[in-house]
Amino acid sequence: MSIRTDGIEPTIRRSDLALDATLRGDLRESPRVGPRDREEPQQIGRYRVLRRLGAGGMGVVYAAYDTELDRKIAVKLVRPEASEVGREARLLREARAMARLSHANVIQVYDVGTLGDQVFVAMEFVDGQTLIAWLGARRRRLRAILSVFRQAAAGLSAAHEVGLVHRDFKPENVMVTRDGRVLVLDFGLARQSSGTVKEIDEGDIPATEPRDVDALDETAISRESMDLALTRTGALLGTPAYMAPEQHLGRAADARSDQFSLCVALWEALYGERPFAGETYAQLAMAVIHGERREPTARRVPRWVREVVERGLAIEPRERWPSMDALRHELAHDTVVRRRRFLGTLAIIGLATTGGVALSRLDAPAAPCQDSADQIARVWGDTARESVGAVFHHSERPFAAASWRRVVQILDRYAAGWATAHDDACAATHLRHEQSGELLDLRMSCLDRRRADLSALVERLQGADDGMIMHAVEAAANLPPVLGCDDITALTARVPPPEDLAVRERVREVQRS
């Protein structure tokens, strides 16, 4: 099943308000670079500055080199505002909380500190594109969209578990890496993210705190501002297009507010338009507060998916899903799972009605599409993990332990992605009957190559010397992406396209021009 995304508003597609260029892994100079009102630093802590990548009203972002761990990173310098007492301390607390959070779907914060009167945050350098760009690049299947949002939900859930609430979740704050990993950015720090914040004059929003509906008049905020994170006297209101009702009413945001924002973004990904409309801030806020969703023009979305998303968009927080994990769990109940449940129910009925005849079927062959996890575990399972881990643990290099943690995260994620892709390829032919046997062979051949790539890397890591350990994270991150094995156009091309997904997309752009 394909979901069209070409109905997404042009202003959404073209949005460059998303993210600091450095977090996109984009080495081009950001168009939002501001005046260099300070001397450019050459060194930030132990990080040697390579170049300035972007700037905004709240800070400057640099590409930098970590001299101890021999890796490229992103460093954000956030300028504290003198008018807000305690802001620097709060920034440090939030950044340190993020540094303690290690999850495959959350951008890794390596370090936090101060440089004079500025807070700096050293972060993972990401090679990928924003979710909004990923959605706009080409048609995305329902399964792919749900997979991306499940990963984003997993990242949000991990943050919620340590007491962090995003408050400004939107597609521009989500990255999809070259290998298909999804990363959520700027927990807590979203309130200071450069380039995405517009300082709204007091005349642009209601003068009183909007704590009840009557306070929301027809004050006009431009349509473009709906995509911006709005602040007033230093306090984040959020991005109106994705804000929960309680945020529009000036109430405290919590994990359920993030759930609402994620469901707005998911609705947008599925239908090509957001669930709530308004030409002014007041119109939009009223639609959100009253739950006045517009009926989508695209209807090729399963009812169960819509019902899951609609509950996440409930006006009252208590009526939404109990947690982000609960929402993620529901989004995992796709049609294959439901069909298996249905068949399981029929089997139980059969046992009850046919007795011994049904019992005799216990010796029947196992259902197809159930051995993916076992296959990949033979390459990267407990045994391989222990043997590679022993090599890293016995290394005397100071960075070995940190590198090992990242390698495990990357390879675990790669193996899980392989198993999911293998299950889907099999199910498409044998369960959903939507794919030919020839196409199944192409996808399986691609997956066999990916498994061989993983196996070769594991073998190298099992005999790794200090040099290999130093570059292990890079080697793991550069494994050919499993995501490419789902690219039907590429698999059926007469001349196989490049393995690198970014290069592949550029080739397609040239072909279309």
Residues 458 and 355 in one domain: no
The pTM (predicted TM-score) of the whole model is 0.57
**Dist CA 408 CA 376 (whole Å):** 15
Residues 355 and 378 in one domain: no
DSSP state of 498: P
pLDDT at site 292: 94
pLDDT at site 318: 94
Q: Which range marks the domain in which residue 355 is found?
A: 335-364
Question: Does residue 392 fall inside a structural domain?
Answer: yes
pLDDT at site 408: 92
Query: How many CA atoms does the CB half-sphere of 262 hold within 13 Å?
Result: 34
Report which of 482, 480, 472, 393 is spatially closest to residue 444, judged by C-alpha positions. 482
Question: Does residue 386 fall inside a structural domain?
Answer: yes
Per-run averaged pLDDT (10 residues), the chain, 513 residues: 33 31 34 52 93 70 88 84 57 73 86 85 86 91 93 93 89 88 74 33 35 47 48 54 93 94 97 92 93 85 94 95 94 58 47 43 48 90 91 89 91 90 86 84 90 92 88 90 82 66 67 57
**Per the structure, how many domains does the chain have?**
2
Residues 487 and 388 in one domain: yes
pLDDT at site 501: 66
Residues 464 and 396 in one domain: yes
Report which of 171, 167, 193 is spatially closest to residue 9, judged by C-alpha positions. 171
Residues 507 and 384 in one domain: yes
pLDDT at site 252: 87
Question: Does residue 77 fall inside a structural domain?
Answer: no
DSSP output for 294-332 = PPPS---S-HHHHHHHHHHT-SSGGGS-SSHHHHHHHHT
Question: Does residue 137 fall inside a structural domain?
Answer: no
pLDDT at site 488: 76
pLDDT at site 200: 31
Residues 397 and 417 in one domain: yes
Question: Does residue 501 fall inside a structural domain?
Answer: yes
Residues 394 and 499 in one domain: yes
pLDDT at site 343: 45
Residue 428 dihedral angles phi and psi, to the nearest 5°: -60, -30
Residues recognised as catalytic: 168
pLDDT at site 23: 34
pLDDT at site 6: 35
Residues 376 and 483 in one domain: yes
Question: Does residue 317 fall inside a structural domain?
Answer: no
Question: Does residue 64 fall inside a structural domain?
Answer: no
Residues 434 and 343 in one domain: no
Question: Does residue 280 fall inside a structural domain?
Answer: no
Residues 494 and 389 in one domain: yes
Residues 408 and 347 in one domain: no
Residues 438 and 455 in one domain: yes
DSSP state of 361: G
Report which of 512, 511, 490, 505 is spatially closest to residue 128, judged by C-alpha positions. 505
